[in-house]
Structure 1
Amino acid sequence: MEATATVHQDPTLTEAEEVARGAGVDPDRGLTSQEAAARLAEHGPNELTASEQEPAWRRFLRQFADPLIYLLLAAIAISLVAWIAEGATGVPIDALVIIVIVLANAILGFVQENKAADAVAALADMTATRAHVLRDGRLTEVPSSELVPGDILALGEGDAVGADARLLTASALRVQESSLTGESEAVEKSPAALPGEVPLGDRRNMVYKGTAVARGVGRAVVTATGMGTEMGRIATLLERTEDEPSPLQTEIAKISKMLGLLVIAIAIVVMGALAIINGVSSLSEAVEILLMGVSLAVAAVPEGLPAILSLVLAIGVQAMAKRNAVMKNLHSVETLGAVSVICSDKTGTLTRNEMTLKEVVTASGRVRLSGIGYAPVGDVELDGDPGSVAFEARRVLAAGSLANNAQLSRNEGVWEIQGDPTEAAFLVAQHKLEGTAERVRGYVRGGEAPFDSDRKLMSVLGRHAAEDLTRVFTKGAPDILLERCVAEQVGETTRELTDARRDELAAVVEELSRKGYRTLGVAWREAESDDLDDFDEAAEHDLVYAGVVAIIDPPREEAAQAIAEAHRAGIKTVMITGDHPVTAARIAADLGITSPGDSASAVTGREIEKLDDAGLQELVRTTSVYARVSPEHKLRIVDALQANQLIVSMTGDGVNDAPALKTADIGVAMGITGTEVTKEAAEMILGDDNYSTIVAAVRQGRVIFDNIKKFIRFLLSSNMGEVATVFLGVVLGSFIGLADPGNPGATVVPLLATQILWINLITDSGPALAMGVDPEIDDVMARRPRGYSDRIIDRHMWARIIAIGAVMGIVNLIIFDLCLPGGLFGGLEALAGPEQQLAVARTTVFTALVFMQLFNALNSRSDYGSAFSHLFTNRWLWGSFALAIVLQVLVVEVPFLQDAFGTAPLDIAHWALAIGAGVAVMAFEEVSKAIRRALARGSRPAA
């Protein structure tokens, strides 16, 4: 086993090689897996110590920290005091029943909260930062939490730095350290030892946990992890602030508050009416009236709604993650379902990202290469003077393979790449043209000017020892590269580039682009110095143009179908790419992004630069394809679309895409090719880098949002039915002459407090949770996206909630009338003796309300569709129904539960009446939906 890391001296003042020796690691091979595991056990995970976990008992007690629960606890106390004051005879049934219900509610809330927390933790694991390290002599990827002192980090543009580390090598490396130092500009890094101690922001040979690589590449040895890092030392400054509530959470909070005030007013009216009409002659009567008011308030406000909402979102987001769409924030789902524009990169997202170099075009002719994918096999066809074109093509492929950071390897018989697929295409092609790979192996690579999305170029310095020459090799966008070239390779010589020849070369690029090829130009020149470390982008001048390569990346078949589906859903697809405008326009047309009536060509970044904000806002309304754009252009496009009141999703993979992703309503990072920085900035990560996954996620987001509307509509209308039943029974009961056979002249109450609480317990959480995982009922992609100003509970939904609640109240008043003497109807009271008539009447109303709410759950599954459509597609919903019915039968028919809940056994007629009440509510909604469908004439309004 290797020596355990012991870095005692200040690594900034120590030479890099000595720091690596002190860490007990070979910089060229890294740690072994066994040593890394041992160090992880010794030092612990590379994580900042989280704030102390709230113990389970405290989380359970927190379930009682609710004003409505306080009311119930007060009611329990008052009930017990009254029981004691009256001699403490028998059992305090009311108090015990309320205690059991409060405990059951608390347990249910505790379980739901834990499940939601577990789901969120699982999502956090999916989006955890990862790092590239050298282990067992191979470059591998591990979670940043598994980094240990002595690990060799491989840093590249877009990587999040996973631990504090001392640089061993650096090439044009710049690191964004604003999260640590507050410095907005990226800091240039160098592996040289410092002459003395300097402030944190000036330690140029160190990289720190929590920062990000803005550009360049480098390697570093980890010197500190976890709380030993600089970020760990200031962890107290990074305490997580409380998340801002989402619009959905804010709206639900407002609704709950409004309902609370409304129901408190109704409860006061009911309690006042009971006190005035019946009088209060004893403490027990006062307690009974108080319990009724409290229970009514508790029943009307869906206090479990926030917990159900979180759990439903968590379950839905986990289901999305299984389909390669990982949402980092639960409440981003509501925005995802409202997306009206999807801005997508082309390569890998709309295309297969299987880059294959098919042609090399040089001054003397063309070389065509057969074969697809990353297996380096295929035939070569020369078109032109064989000697000259072969020499020129060899130089193009060699230069492209040297100005390259991809890797090609064979693993168990399968050829695999690491790095950029476009760069890998050069590595594959060099093996097909004889003599090229040997030429590349003769060079030692030196300094690098990494690819930059603004320059659109990448350059390296290479020295060929056998030929005693040092050269600059550059590849990039042909039009950009040609501006830096002064000559052209012709055979083994060069000639000056004339304006006429530049036009010819541009025409070649245009021709290849029209065929759908991605084009890259390649150039070179002799270097002024043999110093391999003395190199930067300033060397990209006076180049010799070697030729252009044509790379094919075929469109994904499923992308065209997804674009059509998005269009059907009222979602515009916008392609934004760095490719040639003609290539972009061709691919867009093939995929159906543009139609014959659209602009024939793409808008370029240079054209965007000429427009002011107002002009760009006008342009984005009709433009669907942008080419040769920089990250700054992407950001302006997002801003312009949002200024037009559109909800924008933007994809990205490079570090410079992060601002556009952060600004977009839904930033989407590539899970395969995306950098850690873009994943950090995004709200969603694509596990397969596939456009169709975005559209599938939007569909799922709409389904989740629909399900949230379903259970909110169900809960509010059901609770409104409970309030209406009690309110109408108390206010109108005396008016229509309903009488209590045991106490003539007293106002009869259709439900007892314990019965109201029981209904809330068995018919709220179960069906609501089941509706939260309902499959797609309505065709969610057949309607336009929601707008910024659209509310989840609009006037149409409020009208339905109030109407259903009123129907429940009226039907129950009729049932109550049928079961009691007096009133307008009567008749069923003859089936029970006088002493049982009120208990039977209440039990029938009680049971009818349970069935009404279960049937209401079926109604609530669709805004317009019949409840009989997709009737048996949700087994969880039917399971919750079965449980609720079994429990209700027990409460009605089991003697000791009859005592607890004030129920009486029902005969077949009363059971039929209760079930018929539920059918009546369903029938009312079926008729209402039929009328709405007829008025809408088959159209579906936005959700």
Structure 2
Amino acid sequence: MVDQKGQSTAPAVSEEVRAQQALMGDVDPSLTDAAEVAKALNVDPNVGLSEAEAKRRLEKFGPNELASAPPVPKWKKFLAQFQDPLVYLLLAATVISVIAWFIERGHAAPGAEGGEALPFDAIVIVLILIVNAVLGYIQEAKAEAAVEALAQMTAPQTSVLRDGKVVRINTAEVVPGDVIVLAEGDSVSADGRLFTAASLRIAEASLTGESVPVGKKPDTLPEAKALGDRANMIFNGTSVTQGTGRAIVTGTGMNTQVGKIADLLSATEDEQTPLQKEMDYVSKILGLAVCIIAAIVLAALALLEGFHTTQDIIDSLLLAVSLAVAAVPEGLAAILTVVLALGVQRMAMHNAIVKKLHSVETLGSASVICSDKTGTLTRNEMTVERVVTPSGEVQITGTGYAPEGKMVAADGSSLADAPALRAEVIATLAAGTLANDGDLRKENGKWEIVGDPTEVSLIVAARKTGAMKGYEQFSRVAEVPFTSERKRMSIIAKDSTEGGKLTVFAKGAPDVLLSFCSRIAVGGQVRPLTEGDRQTILATVERLSSEAYRTLGQAYRPLGTANLSEVPGVRANAAGQVTDIADQSEAIETDLIWNGMVGIIDPPRTEVRDSVAEAHRAGIRAVMITGDHPLTAARIASDLGIIDKGGKALTGDQLDALTDQAAFDKATSEVSVYARVAPEHKLKIVESLQRQGNIVAMTGDGVNDAPAVKTADIGVAMGITGTEVTKQSAKMILADDNFSTIVAAVREGRVIFDNIRKFLRYLLSSNVGEVFTVFFGVVLAGFLGITQPGTQGVTVPLLATQLLWINLLTDAAPALAMGVDPQTEDVMNRRPRKVTDRVIDASMWGDIIYIGVIMAIVTLIGMDMHLAGGLFTDRSVDALGHDAQMVEARTMGFTILVFAQLFNAIASRSHAQSAFVGLFSNKWLWGAIGLSIVLQLVVIYVPFLNSAFGTTPLSALAWVECIGLAAFVLVASELRKCVLRAMERSKR
């Protein structure tokens, strides 16, 4: 285990680690043949473990996880709720209250009414502190549960071979003996011994410090070597940058190289979000302001009246405490966290998994969404519809992945009289199917794909046409894998019917693959490829691309030998073996014979056009970035409304020609479609848009997309097709790979941010109202009748316990309810906010001060109406005396302030829109208001609580006065909003 400082606190070797070490014995996998390693681990590399055996090993060897810091005990989390300066201040108030109670008890004559039986002020303060701590603990627990649920949704996954099938499992379930299937973009989840590899390169900088990806081969090492030189081993925590491979897991969890370097692990503290930092800043400003106000008030009292007794000093200190209690909303941090967590959970329910709560703040500010085309703007149901060969063109019927359809002539007629064209189509589809890493399976009556949808579309077309009949004898012996830079893939296959002779089959972007072809197959004959042929093929590419087809070319080349080492240009070792053919593409991919090309259609998602329109209304620019042909990109973009009809796409080559930064930035400010771009272009586009002051969301799926995704303000990884490396770099994962989900997440981000501003406006204006009530109640005490002529000392308008109760009553439930307020109609009809904009801007401060002053005025008027010698009334002192009147007046002020804040909750839902628009749309808010009213009635009418809170039952007339005065907060807010709306209309 690891403590908070990263120190190892776990035993040197756990039972799980010892069990793994015993399984391998003294075998060093890097010095042992892969077959022997498989034997030691009791696994068939071609089949993998069975599910039952994997489950047994998981129980025995434990989950594939690094030991982490032990969880913080619940009692420590609860005590942490008291670690706050405000709590220390309230505890000081408790001590002062107890001292005051002792003094009052000591000076009270026997039988006199002066001494209370219990220090109710101190007891109530302590009880409210405990209640606040319980609420904070519950809220934080809910937030932690939400974050944990998100962590489970974004848990990394690994491809393994189980029962002969490649399946995806949670990385934590990988066990020793599992066969890991590696591909470009995968994160390596355990230590293992390679037994196959094709152009495999792995970035191991996190483990060895080697900055350049390391080439991997399955050859057994002749001698022990350093970690960075073990080319036949893979290690946990590294990532695949190129190629494919398979490895047998030799160690998981703490039995990996990373696990053994325990001092590299450290627990990191959660960094505060910008929003949390601003809340801290606001709290400090409020606290400082209150301290200044308290100091001024105390200084004025000392100069004007003087402190004649110990009671005067205690009353003055309690006044300062009351001001502090009134100023700071105690539950603000916890409420903020819970509102963010609830919002993120709602996003997750709609397929947008936000990995960090603070990313919600950025989402609402997005001004540009850069998206890939395939699968995000389109349905990712790739279907081969056209096949064009030198002899003509055919159409493949049927859509989707069900292999149901047939080939017909482009005009829909039969191909019975075109045997040459039919043979060329079959040869083209067969080449694309052989040079392919995808798979098509039928599970539970449903066709499912494994691998890249574009590759699987070729398999589907081949099954529809029976193209693989006559090609079953070919088996792959080597490959040169596809990369985004090469834009092509080649395999070498052995023909079992021709004495094992080898043939190269290749597929790739037609313009790229064509440059490696020197011959063409026409009517069963192979002849030299002419310049005219090239122009015809390229013209066909242009035509298909303009019709929104994605094109892939296919080619082949018989090698004329069964021995790879005999192929001209291929390098072999001293023993005549070729072990690095994947690195010798120049010898393999040359003198190819052109078969033909396929046109693959991926129809746009029907819902995306509406989402693009919604984004444009919200001032958000949609940008398409794709590796497809410019005409294809432009056609899809115009269909979706990203650009107008006839709009152009900018290519990667054209971007490279813009060497001047100003010219590059000008281009990215005007162009919204980019085609034939490489991953490095995505990064340049993101950086350029950011230089222009945009908040950029960028989607990505491949490993080379990770830098752009990480650099973007909102990196978005594809949940279905995305690589693990990209998912780790992203701030958000799309579970459905759908552009509309991004727009919906931005909308939700705006709603969450709006709701945060709503409850901040509410909380701060309510607390400022409490401060003003206490401040003006003391300053104007003589005018309001709070202090009677001839009396000495300080009489606070409201007790600290009453202020604490108000905060407890009105802070938590109504603020949380406002945090889930339904979205307003204009949420996507306004420009994005800038991240530099303050959460609490000048306009909101105007709201806060205005409502705070109104709240204080109506509260003090209500108290004045029940006191003798007041400014508005001059009620005579009744038989019970001034003290009884003061209790009644405080109860009035106490109750008015509670109801004023509840009316404020209704008014604070919008800065300018009337509170009566959608008045009952938030049922949670009305529930919170109802609960607050009931609890306030309990405090007023339960005798025991009368003593604890200094209250007394109110008459029916007093209730009319309370509600009438409190409602003026809502009236005043509506008047201000009317003025604001009128000013806005005059501007327009």
Task: Please indicate, yes or no, whether the TM-score normalized by the shorter chain is above 0.5.
Answer: yes
Given the alignment, which residue of 156, 181, 185 partners 2:183?
A: 156
Query: Take 2:276 and 2:100, find their aligned partners in 1: how far apart are those partners?
Result: 40
Matched, 1:777 2:824: yes
Query: Take 1:419 and 1:111, find their aligned partners in 2: how far apart are those partners?
Result: 44
Match runs of 1:83-232 below 5 Å: 83-85=101-103, 87=105, 90-232=117-259
1:684 maps to a residue whose letter is: M
Given the alignment, which residue of 640, 645, 658 partners 2:693?
A: 645
Partner of 2:431: 399
Partner of 2:866: 819
Query: Take 2:178 and 2:365, find their aligned partners in 1: how far apart are those partners?
Result: 44
Given the alignment, which residue of 270, 274, 282 partners 1:255?
A: 282
SS at 1:441 equivalent: coil
Matched, 1:492 2:529: no
Partner of 2:14: none
Question: Per the alignment, do residues 427 and 351 of structure 1 end up closer, same or farther by CA in structure 2, a change over 3 Å counting?
Answer: same
Q: Is the 8 A contact 1:741 1:837 kept in 2?
A: no
Query: Take 1:438 and 1:872, find their aligned partners in 2: how far apart are those partners?
Result: 68
Partner of 2:5: none
**Worse-superposed segment, 362-371 or 283-292:** 283-292
Q: Is the 8 A contact 1:711 1:768 kept in 2?
A: yes
C-alpha deviations, 1:295-329, integer Å up to 9, x for none?
A: 32132122322211111111110110010000011
SS at 2:42 equivalent: coil
Q: Is the 8 A contact 2:330 2:807 kept in 1?
A: no
Q: Is the 8 A contact 2:175 2:252 kept in 1?
A: yes
Query: Take 1:336 and 1:359, find their aligned partners in 2: how far apart are those partners?
Result: 41
Match runs of 1:355-434 below 5 Å: 355-382=382-409, 386-434=418-466
C-alpha deviations, 1:385-404, integer Å up to 9, x for none?
A: 71221121111101100111
SS at 1:773 equivalent: coil
TM-fit CA distance, 1:223: 0.8
Partner of 1:44: 62
Taking only the aligned residue pairs, the percentage that are identical comes to 54
Query: Take 1:752 and 1:365, find their aligned partners in 2: how far apart are those partners?
Result: 92
Given the alignment, which residue of 600, 617, 634 partners 2:665?
A: 617
SS at 2:470 equivalent: helix
C-alpha deviations, 1:842-884, integer Å up to 9, x for none?
A: 1111111111111111111112211111222222211211111
TM-fit CA distance, 1:831: 8.8
1:635 maps to a residue whose letter is: L
1:912 maps to a residue whose letter is: V
Matched, 1:458 2:476: no
SS at 2:138 equivalent: helix
TM-fit CA distance, 1:78: 2.8
SS at 1:508 equivalent: helix
TM-fit CA distance, 1:579: 0.5
RMSD in angstroms over aligned alpha carbons?
2.0
Given the alignment, which residue of 29, 42, 52 partners 1:11?
A: 29
Partner of 2:573: none
SS at 1:557 equivalent: coil
Given the alignment, which residue of 433, 445, 449 partners 2:480?
A: 449
**Worse-superposed segment, 614-623 or 741-750:** 741-750
Query: Take 2:34 and 2:242, find their aligned partners in 1: how far apart are those partners?
Result: 21
C-alpha deviations, 1:195-220, integer Å up to 9, x for none?
A: 11111111111111111111111111
Partner of 1:547: 596
Query: Take 1:828 and 1:765, find their aligned partners in 2: how far apart are those partners?
Result: 37
Given the alignment, which residue of 631, 650, 660 partners 1:603?
A: 650
Structure 1, unaligned runs of 5 or more:
none
C-alpha deviations, 1:85-114, integer Å up to 9, x for none?
A: 555762111111111111111111111111
TM-score (norm 1): 0.96
Given the alignment, which residue of 265, 290, 294 partners 1:238?
A: 265
Matched, 1:334 2:355: no
Query: Take 1:832 and 1:372, find their aligned partners in 2: how far apart are those partners?
Result: 92
Match runs of 1:272-283 below 5 Å: 272-275=299-302, 279-283=306-310
Match runs of 1:651-670 below 5 Å: 651-670=699-718
Question: Per the alignment, do residues 564 and 830 of structure 1 end up closer, same or farther by CA in structure 2, a change over 3 Å counting?
Answer: farther
TM-fit CA distance, 1:907: 0.9
Question: Per the alignment, do residues 910 and 828 of structure 1 end up closer, same or farther by CA in structure 2, a change over 3 Å counting?
Answer: farther
Query: Take 1:425 and 1:355, find their aligned partners in 2: how far apart are those partners?
Result: 6
TM-fit CA distance, 1:502: 1.2
Question: Per the alignment, do residues 938 and 521 of structure 1 end up closer, same or farther by CA in structure 2, a change over 3 Å counting?
Answer: farther
1:431 maps to a residue whose letter is: R
C-alpha deviations, 1:724-757, integer Å up to 9, x for none?
A: 00111111232x3525459646654221111111
Given the alignment, which residue of 760, 763, 767 partners 1:715?
A: 763
Query: Take 1:258 and 1:832, find their aligned partners in 2: how far apart are those partners?
Result: 45
**Worse-superposed segment, 312-321 or 925-934:** 925-934
TM-fit CA distance, 1:75: 1.9
Q: Is the 8 A contact 2:781 2:787 kept in 1?
A: no
SS at 1:117 equivalent: helix
Number of equivalenced pairs = 934
TM-fit CA distance, 1:367: 2.0
1:47 maps to a residue whose letter is: E
Question: Per the alignment, do residues 376 and 828 of structure 1 end up closer, same or farther by CA in structure 2, a change over 3 Å counting?
Answer: farther
TM-fit CA distance, 1:117: 0.9
SS at 1:826 equivalent: coil
**Worse-superposed segment, 813-822 or 579-588:** 813-822
Matched, 1:792 2:819: no
Question: Per the alignment, do residues 670 and 773 of structure 1 end up closer, same or farther by CA in structure 2, a change over 3 Å counting?
Answer: same
2:556 maps to a residue whose letter is: W
Partner of 1:504: 536
Q: Is the 8 A contact 1:447 1:534 kept in 2?
A: no
SS at 2:824 equivalent: coil
Q: Is the 8 A contact 1:518 1:583 kept in 2?
A: yes
Matched, 1:764 2:796: no
Query: Take 1:879 and 1:528, find their aligned partners in 2: how far apart are those partners?
Result: 82
Query: Take 2:208 and 2:390, find their aligned partners in 1: how far apart are those partners?
Result: 52
Q: Is the 8 A contact 1:829 1:837 kept in 2?
A: no
Q: Is the 8 A contact 2:858 2:966 kept in 1?
A: no
Given the alignment, which residue of 587, 606, 619 partners 1:557?
A: 606
Question: Per the alignment, do residues 117 and 742 of structure 1 end up closer, same or farther by CA in structure 2, a change over 3 Å counting?
Answer: farther
Matched, 1:927 2:945: no
Question: Per the alignment, do residues 772 and 235 of structure 1 end up closer, same or farther by CA in structure 2, a change over 3 Å counting?
Answer: farther
TM-fit CA distance, 1:495: 2.1
Match runs of 1:630-709 below 5 Å: 630-709=678-757
TM-fit CA distance, 1:832: 8.8
TM-fit CA distance, 1:276: 5.2
SS at 1:764 equivalent: helix
Given the alignment, which residue of 355, 361, 373 partners 1:346?
A: 373
Matched, 1:574 2:627: no
Query: Take 1:784 and 1:636, find their aligned partners in 2: how far apart are those partners?
Result: 25
Q: Is the 8 A contact 2:858 2:896 kept in 1?
A: no
Question: Per the alignment, do residues 440 and 732 of structure 1 end up closer, same or farther by CA in structure 2, a change over 3 Å counting?
Answer: farther
SS at 2:865 equivalent: helix
**Worse-superposed segment, 745-754 or 765-774:** 745-754
